[in-house]
Amino acid sequence: MSLHAVTEINSLSRDKFVRIIGPVFEQSPWIAEAAWAKRPFASRGALHAALCETVAGASAEKQLHLIRSHPDLAGRLASAGALTAESAREQAGAGLDRLTPGEIEQFRKNNAAYRAKFGFPFVICARLNRKEAILNGFRTRLPNTREQEIRTALEEIFKVAELRLNDLISS
């Protein structure tokens, strides 16, 4: 991961901008494509705000697609080594790559219950949590309504995006 300055990001062609900024949102380059036209960005925070505004202004269908682009935590993709590089690092940082068989089963059951109720994966900013907090998050969020969980998932995605931007952009 190389650090870029905001001025460098502002001068990128659309294709390069999407290639660099696109992965900030899990498998959703459409967000970077749409935000590119909002350049120049005064700061990393302004870029983050523009990206989040793009998501907030998107259709409910596009928002759900973004949420569904996230993998289950400690799920099948993780055990198959098929996560994006960013997700693999984030899940490992939360300790999800070092689970006991019992913990793996807890995650499997929680992921299944959450998907069955809401129709999308449980999204939480893994870099800001550890496995215990994530497991507790399932318990506290499962009683929520679908609308509450869509809002919460998008808020968590925005946190992930901010941390990923911090990794990419020096200031």
Tokens of 71: 């993998």
Tens of pLDDT along 9-43?
Answer: 999 999 999 999 999 999 999 999 999 999 999 99
Question: How high is the pLDDT of residue 97?
Answer: 85
From the options 3.90.1170.50, 3.40.50.1000, 1.10.3330.10, 3.40.50.1970, give the CATH code of 71-156: 1.10.3330.10
Residue environment code for 92-101, b if the CB has 16+ CB neighbours within 10 A, otherwise e: eebbbeebee
Q: What is the mean pLDDT of the chain?
A: 92
Burial (Cβ within 10 Å: 0-12, 13-18, ≥19) of residue 109: exposed
d(CA 130, CA 1): 23
% of the chain with per-residue pLDDT over 90: 79
Tens of pLDDT along 32-74?
Answer: 999 999 999 999 999 999 999 999 999 999 999 999 999 888 7
Note whether 97 and 107 are within 8 A (CB): no
Residue 86 has pLDDT above 50, yes or no: yes
Give the type of residue at 24: V
From the options 2.40.50.100, 3.40.50.170, 1.10.3330.10, 3.50.50.60, give the CATH code of 6-65: 1.10.3330.10
Q: What is the mean predicted confidence (pLDDT) over 79-87?
A: 70
% of the chain with per-residue pLDDT over 70: 93
Which residues are within 8 A (CB) of 107 and not within 5 positions of it... i.e. 6 or more apart?
72, 73, 74, 75, 96, 99, 135
Catalytic residues: 70
Residue 82 has pLDDT above 70, yes or no: no
CB atoms within 10 A of CB 65: 15
Question: How high is the pLDDT of residue 93?
Answer: 84
DSSP letter at 13 equals: -
Question: How high is the pLDDT of residue 1?
Answer: 47
d(CA 53, CA 46): 10
Tokens of 159: 């946190």
Rounded to 5 degrees, φ, ψ at 4 are: -120, 150
Question: How high is the pLDDT of residue 57?
Answer: 97
User: Hey, where are the domains in the chain?
Assistant: 6-65, 71-156
Instruction: Please indicate whether residue 88 or residue 20 has the higher confidence score (pLDDT).
Output: 20
Query: Does 101 sit behind a cis peptide bond, omega within 30 degrees of 0 on the bond before it?
Result: no
Question: How high is the pLDDT of residue 83?
Answer: 64
Point out which residues pair with 4 in neighbouring strands: 169
Question: How high is the pLDDT of residue 41?
Answer: 96
Note whether 5 and 171 are within 8 A (CB): yes
